[in-house]
A and B are shown apart, each in its own frame.
Chain A
Amino acid sequence: MGAAVGTEGGGRNVNVDLNIVPFIDLLSCLTAFLLVSAVWVNIAQINISPKGKSRDQAVIDEERDKVMLSVLIEADKIWVGLSRINEFQEIAKGQDGQHDWAKLETALKDQKGSAYFSDRADLELAAESTTGSEVSYQDVIQAMDIAVKVGFIDVGLSDPAGLSARPTL
């Protein structure tokens, strides 16, 4: 029984003792199960749409008429460019040898606030990696993460050659 009542005197029942043994049993089982099944690494995802030719989809001509925001990650710098206007912003690496992600965030925020992208959430991203000057996957994810944070939630990953706005030297 869950509870038993002290009735020794036969008068008024005053002491009520709850039997907590089943409760402790339940807690012990639950604790053991949760400890065994616990996932200590919290994994999430970034959703991207690959750009380029698909098996079932034709290239959409409509996109060629729009101004596209392109981000190109190179080993030593990041380019933020606008297609059709051909405006490019160069973000060099910081003094610590890491990409200047704060500047990239500011640049993307500026673009998001502009008339071209205030009601849009698409962005193209590519990484120019070569032997000797490699771009790591972490850098690509970092740039995507910043883009999503700023509001460009439709991130498209493409080849460097497939970017709508590509800086030419």
Chain B
Amino acid sequence: MPVHATGPRLFSSIKLKVLGVHSGSAGGSRPSNVFLNLTPFVDMMTILVSFLLMVFSSTGELLQAQAGLDLPLADNKDTLQLAPVIIVTKREITYQGELVATIEAVMRDDSPAFKIDALFERLDAASKKIKEDVGLGKIARDLAKACEEAKNGLRPEPGKLCPDGLAILQADQGTDARLINKIVNTAKAAGFDNLLFAVKNK
């Protein structure tokens, strides 16, 4: 690639004579150079990129946005990690994006078992699969380490919890606490001993 002397290219390649006349050459006979001051533009871009990098978050992709779902507010700052997601909106309960039951049907059910059968079946299957994966070492090394530490009773780092028995509950802030109790009981019975309640930072 040849090395060219520096200087503006616009005027030489595109004959903008009007710029030559009105941009500093008093006589208008000789074409003059037109410099575009890019410094403020570069400054603005740099600040914008810095800001966007600061607010960039990878946790957003863990959760799905749904209609009728307004997360509760909290001051807690622990980050989420990848786990099966139970979503409770104003109308329905979904597990990994699949409809499990409607809120109305679950609240109408007064069975003494106090758990949601349709959700239990799915969670039970998922729990067994995760347990098998953890047993066979089919998880990331840092998570395997977290599982070992959990067995030894050590507290794991936030965002690095053992995936065995870990699930995320993403529920609307107006959800009745009875429904939350039912879901927590169901998850517990299926082997999910560790629930992460998704919240929105205040």
Tell me the A residues contacting B by CB distance below 8 Å. Answer: 1, 4-8, 15, 17, 19-20, 23-24, 27-28, 30-31, 34-35, 37-57, 73, 126-130, 134-142, 144-145, 148-149, 157, 159
Contacts and interface: CB of A to CB of B under 8 A. Distances in A.
A42 B59 CA distance: 8
A97 B60 CA distance: 34
Contact of B188 (A42, A43, A47, A54): A54
B45 A43 contact: no
Nearest to A1: B3
Nearest to A140: B177
Given A31-B49, A37-B56, A135-B177, A42 B42 contact: no
Interface in B170-184: 171-178, 180-181, 184
Contacts of B158: 47
B172 to A, nearest CB: 7
Given A44-B199, A47-B161, A137 B174 contact: yes
A33 to B, nearest CB: 9
B71 interface: yes
Interface residues of B, number: 65
B72 interface: yes
Contacts of A37: 56
Given A49-B193, A52-B188, 12 more contacts: A15-B6, A24-B38, A28-B45, A34-B53, A39-B57, A43-B57, A47-B194, A48-B197, A50-B193, A53-B188, A145-B75, A145-B199
Contact of B74 (A54, A128, A145): A145
A43 B199 contact: yes
Nearest to B128: A55
B177 A50 contact: no
B197 A27 contact: no
A57 B193 contact: yes
Given A31-B48, A55-B189, A136-B177, A45 B6 contact: no
A129 B176 contact: yes
A28 B46 CA distance: 10
A3 to B, nearest CB: 8
Which 6 residue pairs across A and B have the least CB separation, nearest first? Answer: A39-B60, A127-B177, A34-B52, A17-B6, A129-B177, A50-B188
A50 B185 contact: yes
B100 interface: no
A17 B198 CA distance: 52
11 contacts: A7-B5, A38-B55, A41-B200, A45-B79, A45-B197, A53-B188, A57-B193, A134-B177, A136-B174, A136-B177, A138-B174
B190 interface: yes
B84 interface: no
Nearest to A37: B56
A147 to B, nearest CB: 10
B52 A43 contact: no
B29 interface: no
B3 A31 contact: no
Contacts of B124: 55
B201 interface: yes
A74 to B, nearest CB: 10
Contacts of A55: 124, 127, 189-191
B197 A38 contact: no
B31 to A, nearest CB: 17
B78 A45 contact: yes
Contacts of A31: 45, 48-49, 52
